[in-house]
Structure 1
Amino acid sequence: MPLLRVHLDSDRATARRVLQLHHEGRIHHESREAAREQAWRQGRTPAGDPVFVGITNGRRDVQLLYDVEVYSDATR
């Protein structure tokens, strides 16, 4: 199944918290659900839970990065 990379706008404090939780093997549920909703908004159907892959290194605008496995588009 294809992966969809989702970028979520965030502030630095939240991004640090999500990264810390990831290092502890835990999940930031709010951002994971936001990633799932973003996949739906892009017209894709999530096939599983979004996986946190990191944060951007922007000075002003920080984004959380998630990979969301989505179903392939079936055309006939």
Structure 2
Amino acid sequence: MPLLRVHLDSDPATARRVLHLHREGGVHHESREAAREQVWRQGRTPAGDPVFVGITNGRRNVQLLYDVEVYSDTGP
């Protein structure tokens, strides 16, 4: 199944918290659900849970990065 990379705008404090949770084996449920909603808004159907893959290096404009498997027969 294809992967869709999702970029979510965030602030540096939240990005650090999400990264820390991920490293400790946890999940930031709010950002994961936001990634899932963004996939739906793009007209695709998620095939699984969003997987956190990292954050961007921006000082002010930080983004959370998620990969989401999507069904290939949906979307544009």
Report the alpha carbon displacement of residue 46 of structure 1 after superposing the two structures with TM.
0.1
Q: Which has the larger radius of gyration?
A: 1
- Alignment correspondent of 1:18: 18
What is the SS of the residue equivalent to 2:39?
helix
Report the alpha carbon displacement of residue 17 of structure 1 after superposing the two structures with TM.
0.3
Number of residue pairs matched? Answer: 74
TM-score (norm 1): 0.95
CA distance in 2, matches of 1:59, 1:16: 12
- Alignment correspondent of 1:50: 50
TM-score (norm 2): 0.95
Q: Which consecutive unaligned segments of at least 5 residues does structure 2 have?
A: none
Runs of 4+ in structure 1 deviating by more than 3 angstroms, as ranges, are: none
Aligned CA RMSD, in angstroms, stands at 0.8
> % of aligned pairs identical?
89
